């Protein structure tokens, strides 16, 4: 989630009640080695090196970055777990993060990264854990100092979505706008720098915070900004992995400077946060990122025009940050319809021909595709959710989708066998009320510099809230099918070459979907109380594993495999690990 839910009313408060958004020791387990290519994601499926402490010759197939590959397809070429044997899946091990450290905060939106048999996850309070992927033994654990952690509440939200790994280091962004570099083998702090040292004003006090997972590529760490609803000025920037110094001459700003262009008469910085990881095409060196809503959210009188590059997908040179193209999904957004989820780069069949495209599903409930090189429109705003959004008024209007989406931060996956993109959906409206002027749009009593514009009301009692998974046929631009899920889809999907997609739900259940048939073929009730991130899939010595994190008041990490413990919903089932001395 990206918002301070206390600021936007009862609908989000109810969601918060569900999701509870917030969350060293060396032993005889394997320690990670830097990936063989020097890029954690350059070759996510090819590693046969031995980690320190591992048996020589152990082979690994990794989940090397947020989206599996830098294209963010979230599709792994593993086939051991099939529709025929999926019912034999069970828990190999799980770990209760609050047992490992009492300071772990509620909530967890961490997308695991798995390198050479080691799982790296973060918590909502910016702790980092490294686990032996097969045994569950804790290899190391890092946490911010008490003084640093004490400032996190100023952001209004303290989620974190994971790490990047490269050059023998693990990278994380902190709520208070710092970049952390840790030694991949030991968890020792290598360096921590403030983003404000290179980009003036990027502080909690000014409404900025960081919840995204960074991305490593060719010696650089790529980051975006959170806090668009706070009226901050959104950006993307690159930093050298070696010393965390800026790698670009200047950030790429998603909106003009305050007082210029469409912000000439605005009291706010314009919004346009980039709060999920980019996709990078290693063949062309082009990076694609999705941009959030303009600020104030529901009040647009003093930000006239289309408000580029908000609610857009933007393509830049990864090496320099130079603009290549930008395409806007929603012009002059008044409904909080970010392009929130990370884009995907696909080599797919489109209208009967092979084409490289970039796709993204927006909080607007529409799905888009563009030519990767030119930005030419391929599929333009195909609906996958109920859409009805009259302009906001001070009295209030009911809009579909609401501020949670459509598609929120939860990522899509692409299955090349069917040529389907699977879209995680949220079917939940919002009652939004616009401000009468800029002063009313401001909410200075909230953390940062809130600019919600201005409030939300209670939903009618008969409103139904649920989730969907939509299979979009990339060739035709039409829905192949759509299934309904009990809860809004908050975590996203991961698929494999066996034709299965895995996803979790807010009740702590995880599921396997037959991609071609569109039917759930396996479910497992975990002891966690919600799942708000998609799984990572990896292999060790040819055996396939699946790892999830759960959040709410029970932040845990789970690893599944064929032959594991099939006991469902049992508190503490297969839990392992214990707290050890920490690295600060």
Q: Is residue 428 part of a domain?
A: yes
- Residue 331 and residue 312: Cα distance in Å, rounded? 9
- pLDDT attached to residue 93: 98
Model confidence pLDDT, tens digit, residues 248-261: 999 999 999 999 99
- pLDDT attached to residue 447: 65
Distance from the Cα of residue 90 to its chain's centroid: 26
Q: Is residue 571 part of a domain?
A: no
Q: Is residue 520 part of a domain?
A: yes
Model confidence pLDDT, tens digit, residues 18-40: 333 322 333 323 333 333 333 33
Share above pLDDT 70 across residues of the chain, in percent, rounded to a whole number: 87
pTM for the full predicted model: 0.91
- pLDDT attached to residue 412: 98
For the four alpha carbons of 415, 418, 421 and 422, in that order, the dihedral sign comes to: negative
Q: Is 149 helix (H, G, I), strand (E, B) or coil?
A: helix
Q: Is residue 221 part of a domain?
A: yes
pLDDT-derived band of residue 442, with 50, 70 and 90 as boundaries? confident
Domain range enclosing 286: 5-453+462-562
- What are the phi and psi torsion angles at 579 (to 5°)? -70, 145
- pLDDT attached to residue 443: 78
Tally the C-alpha atoms within 13 A of residue 113's C-alpha that lie toward its C-beta.
34
Model confidence pLDDT, tens digit, residues 539-558: 999 999 999 999 999 999 99
- pLDDT attached to residue 25: 33
3-state secondary structure 512-574: EEECCCCEEEEEEECCCCCCCCCCEEEEECCEEEEEEEECCCCCEEEEEEECCECCCCCCCCC
Q: Is the pLDDT at 578 greater than 50, yes or no?
A: no
Tally the C-alpha atoms within 13 A of residue 461's C-alpha that lie toward its C-beta.
0
pLDDT-derived band of residue 516, with 50, 70 and 90 as boundaries? very high
Helix then strand count (H, E) for the chain reads 4, 37
pLDDT-derived band of residue 312, with 50, 70 and 90 as boundaries? very high
CATH number at residue 399: 2.140.10.10
Which tokens in the block code for residue 188? Answer: 């020792």
- Residue 17 and residue 26: Cα distance in Å, rounded? 37
Model confidence pLDDT, tens digit, residues 90-112: 999 999 999 999 999 999 999 99
Model confidence pLDDT, tens digit, residues 286-296: 999 999 999 99
Mean pLDDT of 188-195: 98
* 489 contacts 401 by C-beta, under 8 angstroms: no
Model confidence pLDDT, tens digit, residues 214-270: 999 999 999 999 999 888 999 999 999 999 999 999 999 999 999 999 999 998 999
Q: What is the largest CA-CA distance in the chain?
A: 68
Which CA distances in Å does 90 have to 146, 504, 521?
37, 15, 15
Q: Is residue 579 part of a domain?
A: no
Q: Which is nearest to 161 in space by CA: 118, 117, 209?
A: 209
Mean pLDDT of 463-471: 97
Q: Which is nearest to 202 in space by CA: 184, 227, 222?
A: 227
- Stretch (H or E) spanning 63: none
Distance between the two ends of the chain, CA-based, in angstroms? 27
- Stretch (H or E) spanning 251: none
Q: Is residue 417 part of a domain?
A: yes
Give how many domains the chain has, as a whole number: 1
Q: Is residue 584 part of a domain?
A: no
Please tell me the total number of residues recorded for the chain in this structure. Answer: 584
Mean pLDDT of 410-419: 98
């Amino acid at each position: 989630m990206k918002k301070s839910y206390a600021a936007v009313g009862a609908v989000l408060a109810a969601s918060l009640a569900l999701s509870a958004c917030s969350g060293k020791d060396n032993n005889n387990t394997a320690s990670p080695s830097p990936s063989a290519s020097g890029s954690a994601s350059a070759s996510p499926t090819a590693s046969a090196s031995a980690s320190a402490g591992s048996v020589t010759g152990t082979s690994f197939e990794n989940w090397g970055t947020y989206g599996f590959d830098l294209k963010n397809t979230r599709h792994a070429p593993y086939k051991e777990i099939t529709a025929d044997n999926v019912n034999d899946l069970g828990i190999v091990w799980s770990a209760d993060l609050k047992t490992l450290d009492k300071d772990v905060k509620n909530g967890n939106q961490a997308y695991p990264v798995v390198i050479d048999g080691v799982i790296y996850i973060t918590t909502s309070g910016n702790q980092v854990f490294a686990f032996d992927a097969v045994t569950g033994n804790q290899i190391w654990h890092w946490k911010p100092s008490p003084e640093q952690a004490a400032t996190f509440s100023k952001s209004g939200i303290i989620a974190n979505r994971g790490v990047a790994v490269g050059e023998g280091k693990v990278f994380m962004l902190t709520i208070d706008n710092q970049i952390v570099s840790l030694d991949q083998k030991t968890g020792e702090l290598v360096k921590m720098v403030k983003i404000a040292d290179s980009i003036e004003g990027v502080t909690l006090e000014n409404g900025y915070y960081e919840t995204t997972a960074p991305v490593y590529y060719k010696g650089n760490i790529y980051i975006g900004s959170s806090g668009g609803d706070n009226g901050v000025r959104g950006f993307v920037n690159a930093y050298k992995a070696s010393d965390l110094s800026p790698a670009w001459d200047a950030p790429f700003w998603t909106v003009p400077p305050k007082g210029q262009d469409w912000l000439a008469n605005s009291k706010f910085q314009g919004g346009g946060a980039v709060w999920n990881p980019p996709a990078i095409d290693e063949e062309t060196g082009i990076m694609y990122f999705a941009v959030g809503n303009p600020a104030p959210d529901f009040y647009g009188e003093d930000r006239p025009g289309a408000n580029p590059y908000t609610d857009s997908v933007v393509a830049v040179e990864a090496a320099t940050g130079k603009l290549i193209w930008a395409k806007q999904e929603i012009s002059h957004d008044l409904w909080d319809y970010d392009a929130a989820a990370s884009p995907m780069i696909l080599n797919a069949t489109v209208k009967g021909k092979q084409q490289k495209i970039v796709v993204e599903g927006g909080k607007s409930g529409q799905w888009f595709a563009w030519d990767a090189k030119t930005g030419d429109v391929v599929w333009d705003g195909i609906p996958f959710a109920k859409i009805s959004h009259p302009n906001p008024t001070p009295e209030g209007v009911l809009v579909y989708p609401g501020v949670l989406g459509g598609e929120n931060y939860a990522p899509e996956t692409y299955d090349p066998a069917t040529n389907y993109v699977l879209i995680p959906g949220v079917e939940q409206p919002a009652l939004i009320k616009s401000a009468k002027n800029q002063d009313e749009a401001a909410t200075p009593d909230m953390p940062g510099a809130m600019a919600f514009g201005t409030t939300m009301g209670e939903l009618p009692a008969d409103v139904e809230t649920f989730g969907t998974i939509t299979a979009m046929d990339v060739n035709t631009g039409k829905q192949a099918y759509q299934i309904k899920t009990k809860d809004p889809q908050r975590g996203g999907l991961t698929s494999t070459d066996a034709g299965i997609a895995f996803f979790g739900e807010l009740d702590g259940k995880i599921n396997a979907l037959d991609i071609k048939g569109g039917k759930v073929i396996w479910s497992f009730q975990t002891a966690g109380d919600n799942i708000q991130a998609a799984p990572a899939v990896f292999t060790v010595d040819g055996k396939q594993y699946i790892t999830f994190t759960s959040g709410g008041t029970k932040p845990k990490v789970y690893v599944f495999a064929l032959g594991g413990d099939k006991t469902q919903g049992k508190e503490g089932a297969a839990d392992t690990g214990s707290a050890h001395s920490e690295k600060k």
